[in-house]
Structure 1
Amino acid sequence: MNTVLDSLRSEALFVSTLQSSQRPTPEVIREAVTAMVDRLGEARCAELVAQEFGEHPDCALGRMRWAKTAVRSAFA
C-alpha cells in the first residue's frame, strides 16, 4: 500500500460527513473520499484534520482510527 496516498484518503474521509454509524460500503467510502479531495484539495483536508485534533483531540483520535481502517478496506 502507498502510505502517502492512504494518509490523504484517510484525511479526506475524516473531514467528510460520512459517519461510521452509517456502516458505509467500500463504494460509498471511495465516493466520499473522491468528493472531498475534489472539493477541498489535499492541503485543505489536512488543515481541517489538524484543526479537529487541536479543538477536539478526544473525538478526533477515534474518528481517524475509523477513517484509516475504512480506507484500508475500501481501497484494498
Structure 2
Amino acid sequence: MSPTSTIPMSRADLAKVLFTTRLRPSDRPRPEQVRAAIDDRLHTCGGDPMIYAGLVAQEAGDHPETYAPRMRWALATVAVAYADRMLTAA
C-alpha cells in the first residue's frame, strides 16, 4: 500500500512533497511518475509534512526567483496526478 493511500494529505501537502523531488517541469512527468515520486519521497522521509514544509521554505529563501513558478507547477501537477482520488481541502 502506498503512503499517500494511508496518510490523508491535502493537495498543498502533496505539492510540497513533489516540490522536494527530483522531478522537474521539463521532465513532463506522467501522473503515475508523479505519484511514484511522491510515494518514494514520503517513504524516504517518514511521511512527516513538517519536513517538506521546511525544505520548501529553505528553497524559497535560497531561490526566490524560481520558487513561485515551481510551486505553481507542483500544485497543477498534483491536481492532475490525483484527479481521480479524494483529497482533503488545501
With normalisation by structure 2, the TM-score equals 0.76
Larger helix share, 1 or 2: 1
Q: Deviations over 1:20-56 (max 9, x none)?
A: 1111000000011111122123211110000011111
Distance 1:39 1:64 in 2: 21
Runs of 4+ residues deviating >3 angstroms? none
Structure 1: which 5+ residue stretches go unaligned? Answer: none
Match for residue 23 of structure 1? 28
Q: Could you tell me how far apart the structure 2 residues matched to 1:61 and 1:17 are? A: 17
Name the SS for the 1:54 alignment partner.
helix
Equivalents in 2 of 1:69, 1:27: separation in Å?
15
Query: How far 1:12 moved relative to its partner?
Result: 0.5
Amino-acid identity (%): 37
Give the deviation of 1:7 after TM superposition.
Answer: 1.0
Task: Look up the SS of the partner of 2:65 in the other structure.
Answer: helix
Structure 1 residue aligned with 2:77, among 67, 70, 76? 70
Count of aligned pairs: 73
Work out whether residues 13 and 32 of structure 1, in 8 Å CA contact, stay in contact via their aligned partners in 2.
yes
Asked whether the 8 Å contact 1:37–1:45 carries over to 2, the reply is no
What secondary structure is seen at the aligned counterpart in 2 of 1:18? Answer: coil
TM-score, normalization by structure 1? 0.89
1:37-76 residue pairs with structure 2 within 5 A?
37-40=42-45, 41-76=48-83
